[in-house]
Amino acid sequence: MAFRIGPYRFANRLALAPMAGVTDRPFRQLCRELGAGMTVSEMITSRPDLRDSRKTQLRMDHEGEPGPIIVQIAGGVPELMADAARYNVANGAQIIDINMGCPAKKVCKVEAGSALLKDRSLVESILRAVVAAVDVPVTLKIRTGWSRQQRNAIDIARVAEDCGIQALSIHGRTREDRFQGEAEYQTIRQVKRLLEIPVIANGDIDSVAKAQMVMDFTAADAIMVGRIAQQRPWIFAQIDHYLSTGRTPEEPADELKQAWLTGHIKNLYAFYGEHQGVQIARKHINWQLAHRDDYYRVKPLLMQAQTATQQLDTIEAYFNDCYRKGRYDLAC
């Protein structure tokens, strides 16, 4: 079953969570290829003085991506957020997402991200300003509150719907929790019962069984997968298969995992240039291979590689060694 945001219909009910330093264009493309129905950009600052920086320009690059193009903006000044929304729509954004969920200190200390949840009046001002500024759907991502004593997601959700927000994503933790402990879904369930707009559930969805449980418990219109996608980007196809058929999917063959990883790395080289691409590729290699028993043998070579050829040749040699030993995924 698909879901909609405004005029846009998505292929399934699975979204890749926006993650700074992770969900760049190459990673979004990989996850779309592997079954994500919806992807969102890394958050883009609303500060106009940073628009011409290389970092912001790369985050605004959506060339070759399937639509709708969803751009997440961050900031705490209504006028700047409205201007940022207009600017990104003029540069191709088809949906604007507002970040009120990031728990990072450097974001919260400038009264942005989840820090905004402390101020209901400011939340409303930002939402009204952004919705009025553009003629595309505006969505919102929040947490359950600023602290465990201030779980105000229900109040913020009502404000969001009243302001014209067309979909709401909720991470089942407060800002105080950051990524510690377990996500709770009761708040998401309560919000879903109150709203008419689509609600997307987020937090600790790391398996097909967990995806089904969250869907059933919250009655969310869609689910948003974050950190596990760094390690297993093919989890989207697995969840989609399970939700559609009720059958547990098979684990992809190592040949496919190798092809996906090397294809993604090559895309990183093309996007960032070889030098920066090699550096950024290291974390993706670690995420996908660190759980394999023999990875420690090759990790130093991969982390010290200075060229694309060195990195790719080492990955190929590593997988070839696994195939030759017949050990494959569980043992390698």
Instruction: Check whether 327 has a pLDDT greater than 60.
Output: no
Catalytic residues: 102
DSSP class per residue in 48-69:
GGGTTSHHHHHHT--TT--S--
187 and 298 share one domain: no
pLDDT score of 282: 97
Final residue in a domain of this structure, among 213, 245, 277: 245
Residue 39's beta-bridge partner residues? 16
Q: Of 245, 263, 283, which one is at a domain's C-terminal end?
A: 245
Q: Domain check: are 272 and 217 in the same one?
A: no
Cis omega (within 30 of 0) for bond into 68: yes
Regarding whether 203 and 321 lie in a shared domain, the answer is: no
One domain for residues 219 and 275: no
Boundaries of domain holding 222: 4-245
On whether both 81 and 204 belong to a single domain, the answer is yes
Placement of tokens 């510690």 in the chain: 180
What mean pLDDT value characterizes the chain?
93
The total domain count for the chain is: 2
Same domain, 192 and 268: no
Amino acid occupying residue 288: Q
Residue 116's identity, in one-letter code, is L
Q: Are residues 325 and 289 in the same domain?
A: yes
Give yes or no: residues 177 and 131 share one domain. yes
Last residue of a domain, one of 228, 245, 262: 245
What is the predicted pLDDT for the residue at 103? 76
- What's the whole-model pTM score? 0.93
Q: Are residues 318 and 173 in the same domain?
A: no
**pLDDT tens-digit readout, 264-289:** 999 999 999 999 999 999 999 999 99
Q: Per the structure block, which two tokens stand in for 71?
A: 């751009």
Question: What pLDDT score was predicted for residue 332?
Answer: 40
What CA–CA distances, in Å, run from 123 to 92, 98, 114, 127?
Answer: 25, 10, 10, 6
d(C-alpha 4, C-alpha 98), whole Å: 18
163 contacts 129 by C-beta, under 8 angstroms: no
Cα separation values, 168 from 1, 157, 204, 225, 258, Å: 18, 7, 18, 15, 36
Q: How far is CA 54 from the centre of its chain?
A: 21
Looking at the fold, whether 192 and 264 belong to one and the same domain comes out as no
Give CA–CA dist 4/198, Å, rounded.
8
> Residue 108: what pLDDT?
62
Res. 329 pLDDT band, cuts 50 70 90: very low
Specify the residue for token string 């708040």.
Answer: 187
Q: Report whether pLDDT(230) > 90.
A: yes
Q: How far apart are CA 9 and CA 1, in angstroms?
A: 10
Which tens digit of pLDDT belongs to each residue from 11-26? 999 999 999 999 999 9
For 120-179, write each residue's pLDDT tens digit: 999 999 999 999 999 999 999 999 998 888 889 999 999 999 999 999 999 999 988 888
Report the CATH number at residue 184. Answer: 3.20.20.70
Question: Closest Cα partner for 89 from 70, 110, 112?
Answer: 70
Percent of the chain having pLDDT more than 70?
Answer: 95
Q: Comparing C-alpha atoms, which of 193, 117, 125 is closest to residue 155?
A: 117
For residue 285, give the nearest of 321, 249, 319 by alpha carbon: 319
| Of 106 and 56, more confident | 56
Q: Are 326 and 179 contained in the same domain?
A: no
Quote the pLDDT of residue 326: 57
Question: Residue 114's pLDDT band (boundaries 50, 70, 90)?
Answer: confident
Give the Cα separation of 81 and 115 in Å (integer): 15
Same domain, 197 and 55: yes
